[in-house]
Chain A
Amino acid sequence: MLNYDIVVIGGGPAGMAAALKAKECGVDSILILERAETLGGILEQCIHTGFGLHYFGEELSGPEYADRFIQLVDKQKIEYKTDTMALEITQDNVVYAINKKDGLLEIQAKAVILAMGCRERPRGALNIAGTRASGVMSAGTAQKYVNIDGYMPGKKVVILGSGDIGLIMARRMTLEGAEVKCVCELMPYSSGLTRNIVQCLDDFNIPLYLSCTVIDIHGKERVEGVTIADVDENRRPIPGSERFIECDTLLLSVGLIPENELTRAVGIDLDPVTSGAVVDEYRETSHKGVFACGNVLHVHDLVDYVTLESQTAGEGAARYVLGKTEEAEYVTTKGVNGVRYIVPQKVNIKNDGDVKLYFRVGQVYKNAKTVVKYNGEEIISKKRPRLAPGEMESVIIKNDMLKGFAADGVIEISVEV
């Protein structure tokens, strides 16, 4: 049995930032477990730029953003094991993991930080009809083939889903010589950044079809085409709007799902909307000493926010290990009227700092305002020229406000038009 103060599961941006912060807060015994061959997580294949504008004030590519943290992990001599898969966390925070070199690892941790990231929704989850031909894959899988392995997964491409990964891959495939026929988006708006729509689609004259989806996949061995159709306001295909598009590849960028298998197995409470754990302001889950951060907690729009959140979790884990936690009396947070979810889901009012609440809205709003209420009473109101589901919003609850709250109170955030 190995012993560490903190075991971090996942060596992507979340895990590294959490570990570094915990170290900074005075915990020396930290181990990061990473399932891939290197630290960095999904950033290693995100070779486009646009990362780090908030956190570093410069525009970095994914591998560059990751490398900054990898260098720091090395410099701070934080231990990590790559090619290592965590299999189980027990009720007593013993982590079981395996790799080729050490075999089965049994690690007793005082605190565990969950930073496993997320995965892409597969075709099956959409139930798209059609053949089982090869050439249907998630955009992220295609990204790995092109950017890491250096192979083309297709020549004539249709992309379903206009999230940022879909948009980025439209440009990437075009740059490498593929013909991207179109991007179809089920919703009447794209969940991707405007900047990506302009620079990844418009720049290359790739059409974006809104309120449109793929309803059939053709081809027996390799994909030979797809049928797309417009959808009505209930997202049902409109008869007569079907058209065939010849292609050899269908890339799916239809959403990300936090990877919470380990979390679920420990019996940690999950939020059905985020599909991540229910946490407090230090990102501690319902299981004592287990923290969660990054895309395993909720899907973020920018890695910069992942870093910030993970630092909070790292600090929380360090406080827990060092016995610096205060008495807890919680208020809960609740998204209403257009606000889909809020993280954290509960806040300790004995906390002696400000607390930032992150939230996402369910549709596009222009010239709206976000209103924060405590037990029904408005405490903060802020004008928002534009709110969109693709962008994470935040609001700060000042400590003096927090001090005025009572246990079991409710903080609600809503959108008012």
Chain B
Amino acid sequence: MSGPVPAVTKPVPAQNKAQLDVFRAEADAIVAKYEEKRAAMLPVLRLVQEKLGFVSPEAEEWVGSLLGIAPSHVHEVVTFYTLYNQQPVGKHHIQVCQNIACALTGCESMIAAISKKLGIKPGETTPDGRFTLSTVECLCACEVGPVMQVNDKYVGPITLETVEQLAKAPELLPEMDTPFREAVHLVEPVLSRRFTMRDSEIIETYVRDDGYQAARKATTEMTPQQVIDEVTKSNLRGLGGAGFPTGKKWSFIPKDSAKPKYVVVNADEGEPGTLKDRYVISKDPHRLIEGMMIAAYAIGAHKAYIYIRGEYARPAQILQQAVQDAYKYGFLGKSAFNSGFALDIVVHRGAGAYICGEESALLESLEGKKGFPRLRPPFPAISGLFASPTLINNVETLACVPTIIARGGEWFAKLGSDKAGGTRLYSISGHVVKPGLYEASQSIKLRELIEAAGGPREGRKIKAVVPGGISAKILKADELDVVMDFDSLRNAGTMAGSAGVIVMDDTTCMVQALWYASKFFAHESCGQCSPCREGTGWIFKIVDRIIKGQGKQQDLDVLLGIATNMEGRTICVFADAAAWPVQSYITKFRDEFEYHIRTKRCDLLQRMKNLNNRMSTLKPQTEPTNA
């Protein structure tokens, strides 16, 4: 559904204790995996939903008593995350992405086509209970946009044929196929080396390709400090988006701690326009596990969690299998390589909340609460998961680590730019010929990346590019020669972020682009701090009004004012991220916004009518009324 789902108003069918007690043993087994019972909240709720289709207030009470938590706090969790249904849904729950990258590739016309075919609007269920249609925020499969989930399965790109098949036999729709695109100008790719190999995700091929040798080297030949030094030398920086030097982060973990230490992997990929972690997890999961082993050894942790976004069902399955196999081979569990180093890994699935990609919100979520970012200090290195020292790294960051240990930090550092070692995975989506995942040195220029992705579609010109996920400030067509590393992009007034490159060509209406961006932030604000909670909703209401032809010229300055007033006033940087698109779109394309307000319509609309569905781009939600 677009917009947060309101509290339950319709009476929902009751679920009784006997129904729930049937799978009590399964629930207990989940609880046993965690240090604190409450941490089992998300997976136990997922279990309830898998078994019974939705989570009722009775089920919330049942879960609450199982975990020793007041039912109100279980209800908080159920209503905070989008993946929990509070009412029964159709047998096939169709969730179509309605975020910016999919909008660029025509999701609105596909939503309309599905709606027409099934006879239901988003938010509705067919009378026979077969289908429920919802629109959702970014599924992080932008390279196959427009994309949807049919229950757990990712399907894309959606075409009119897909819609026909969806109505007939949804179970026969194939899961999306997303081959890795290319390592650009790299003699030797690092992260994507195995992506194109057959069976790259299984342990046998990984071990055959010298897999787990770096972990062996680290745990049997190196001291933890030597490992940290090597990572420091590599100039590896956090590839989740913040770009914090990884070696330094590892060194913040106290050497001596009365409490256990944890490694937590941030696999909550959610930044619109980003899809890289999914490739690492799906195509080379053992690389991640090996990286985790090395990190855990370096900081002295014996338990690690991978927090993977809830929508990534297939990747989670692959990852779970990989973890099991790693246990079977003796890499995990007791004493890998007879080194005495032991590590346990738990794969923990999220439940639909972008904010949980923020590290402290992720920890809250992992502990079974709403994803509310924490006040800092203390920082996670001192008091993170279960109030213990915790290292949190992104998937891609940790996936670099085995290579750093195997080839040396200096070798890795040379692959990148001055201040950022190694390569990066660049997700490219929107108006390019070959959207998908690319690996390149961080010294590559944005223009070169876009060229590698086939450039703009035939006959079109690039209008604007978001270089690092939807939060990053937008760049105009004349700003594409920027180098794609953290510092260069910051100097260019934007940010490298998650390296999710969203390309918009000259068919794109910037007012509508901002409509999607602001809808996203209004939907995903956790609601904790007042400026962000109220500001994101306010921004969306104004942009929505402009789109509907009811804008006023002064709205633009009000929008800029709201953005400024939110920025830097909250616990986490979400409010800043929500402010940046507003500031950059309006500042850089002010004429277009003013035109839209003045004429109550989009000047692109007329031109758009001549384009076919696949080519069509952002379609307004409502036709202008006073055109």
Q: Do A and B come from one complex?
A: no
**Taking beta carbons and an 8 Å cutoff, which residues of A are in contact with B?**
none
Residues of B within 8 A of A (CB): none
